[in-house]
Amino acid sequence: MFLPIFFFILSILIPHSSASNDFCIADLSLPIGPAGYPCKDPKSVTVDDFISSSLTVPSGNTTNLYNASFKDIDTEQFPGLNGMGISMLRADLDMGGLTPLHTHRVSELLLGIEGSVLVGFIDSNNTAYYKTINKGEVIIIPPTLLHFFYNVESTRAVTYSFYPSDDHGLQGVDSSLFRGNLPSEMIDKITLLGHAQIQQLKKLLGGTN
Ligand SMILES: *[C@@H]1O[C@H](CO)[C@@H](O)[C@H](O)[C@H]1NC(C)=O
Ligand SMILES: *[C@@H]1O[C@H](CO)[C@@H](O)[C@H](O)[C@H]1NC(C)=O
Ligand SMILES: *[C@@H]1O[C@H](CO)[C@@H](O)[C@H](O)[C@H]1NC(C)=O
């Protein structure tokens, strides 16, 4: 008696299995909404929509302040990731290359691909955890904690990072202070840096005010 009713209700609640419920390849030609991009017509989806070759090449030009380049692999670069709750980043660090202190909303699983990098994070009790990560090793960085990594060899280092989110929401400490529009006199009040140093860093990073 109860069983047929149960299955009847279940069949109403659970959508019928069809390709359109299994995935939603982003249609980047349409505007993004709170739930991500609208889906590409399932009839035109092929296996290539689930594959990206973006990580097979270096992430970019490392002739910059950080001797490093970064490439995000998210829905914009890889429409198959739409709504999957995961994204990636490739970092290429030349000699002296670094990823400055930053934070994001979600955890980060960092995998050494080439060379050696020193990875560190600082917990809310100001305890620092840091270690050199070599090729094939992984480190898990807890969500929201400030962290960094830099190349410890004279050869190139490459790392891949994985984030359990479509959008990891990165925020850099030096970018926030010196690349944006926070007025210098306010930075002067809230940090122990002197005015001249603040001006110098704003100039270096392109901040205004
Ligand atoms: C890399 O960037 C530097 C500085 O912007 C530039 O001078 C150089 O030509 C670039 N190299 C390549 C290969 O694009
Ligand atoms: C950054 O790269 C340049 C060019 O390869 C190199 O001369 C410089 O020493 C590097 N910076 C550091 C801090 O190693
Ligand atoms: C917090 O850090 C202090 C030293 O700064 C240490 O004595 C204390 O044990 C730490 N507490 C925890 C919970 O790790």
Q: Is 100 domain-assigned?
A: yes
Calpha distance 38→34 (Å, rounded): 10
* Pocket, ligand 3, Cβ cutoff 6 A: 125, 127
Query: Does residue 11 have a pLDDT over 80?
Result: no
Q: Is 31 domain-assigned?
A: no
Choice from 64, 95, 150, 152 to test ligand 2 binding pocket (greatest atom count within 8 A of CB): 95
Backbone angles phi and psi of 8, in degrees to 5: -65, -45
pLDDT digits (tens, 9 = 90+) for 25-83: 999 999 888 878 899 999 999 999 999 998 889 999 999 999 999 999 999 999 999 98
What ligand is nearest to the CA atom of residue 153?
2
**pLDDT score at 189:** 92
Helix (H) or strand (E) holding 166: none
Helix (H) or strand (E) holding 58: none
Instruction: With CA atoms as reference, report the closest residue to 170 among 90, 103, 70.
Output: 103
What's the CA-to-centroid distance between 98 and ligand 2, angstroms? 11
Please give the number of the atom of ligand 1 that sits closest to the Cα of 62. 1
Q: How many CB atoms lie within 10 A of CB 127?
A: 8
Q: Is 105 domain-assigned?
A: yes
Q: Is 85 domain-assigned?
A: yes
Q: Looking at the 3D structure of the chain, how many domains does it have?
A: 1
> Given strand 157-163, what is the order of strands in its sheet?
68-73, 87-93, 157-163, 108-114, 138-141
Instruction: With CA atoms as reference, report the closest residue to 58 among 67, 70, 66.
Output: 70
Choice from 57, 59, 61, 65 to test ligand 1 binding pocket (greatest atom count within 8 A of CB): 61
Q: b/e string for 62-86 if b means 16 or more Cβ within 10 A?
A: beeebbbbbbbbbbeebbbbbbeee
Query: Does residue 172 have a pLDDT over 60?
Result: yes
Q: Is 39 domain-assigned?
A: no
CB 96 less than 6 A from any atom of ligand 2? yes
Q: Is 78 domain-assigned?
A: yes
**pLDDT score at 12:** 45
Query: Does residue 168 have a pLDDT over 80?
Result: yes
Q: Is 13 domain-assigned?
A: no
Residue 115 sits in a domain whose CATH number is: 2.60.120.10
Write down the pTM of the prediction. 0.84
Q: Is 107 domain-assigned?
A: yes
| Domain limits for position 114 | 53-169
Helix (H) or strand (E) holding 19: helix 19-22
- Who has greater pLDDT, 7 or 90? 90
* Pocket, ligand 1, Cβ cutoff 6 A: 61, 63
Residue nearest to atom 12 of ligand 2 (CA): 96
